[in-house]
Amino acid sequence: MFLENNKHKGWIEVICGSMFSGKTEELIRRMKRAQFANLKVEIFKPSIDVRYSEGDVVSHDANAIQSTPVESAQNILLMTSDVDVVGIDEAQFFDDGIVDVCRQLANSGVRVIVAGLDMDYMGVPFGPMPALMATAEYVTKVHAICVRCGDLAHHSHRLTADDKQVLLGAQDAYQPICRHCFNELQNK
């Protein structure tokens, strides 16, 4: 599946933070830079994420890059032979198998760039993200701005009463807020 004598050393980069913090924007930036360097890239996202596009990875600022929606993390391995850089958006929506997939890719010489929410709307570590951050060589935490007080935000406050952990949405369903404002809202 992968080149036996790959001269490149692989690694894992994780971009994490709250909603509206620029995670996908940063993923797109890094992937486009890899394309400019004439590296072969593949970008994946979970097939459930159809908020802005069924096929593209799209940031809240409407920047986009072509991607392949996949049902499970294992499908990524089937589509990454002879690839230099793999990008994965919304990693929190994948099963825990995404961690092993990223390790396998990195071990075979692929640079893996993963973006995802580090916490859910309740402030709890989200899905496979903690394990991905522990496995990665590089972790970048990006922040939004709290819509209530203007401080750095790292929580995704849900505006609806729905208590499902996964609720796809944008500004209609979530706001970025800081720790202080999050705690205030939790104590109401």
**Distances from the Cα of 172 to the Cαs of 90, 141, 160, in angstroms?**
18, 24, 9
Where do runs of H (alpha helix) occur along 51-139? Answer: 74-78, 97-107, 129-135
Nearest to 110 by CA among 44, 183, 65, 175: 44
- Out of 26, 42, 90, 184, pick the active-site residue: 90
With residue 185 as reference, give the H or E element that holds it: helix 179-186
Is 90 a catalytic site residue? yes
Q: Return all residues near 138 (Cβ < 8 A) that are at least 6 apart.
A: 11, 12, 13, 14
Catalytically annotated residues = 90
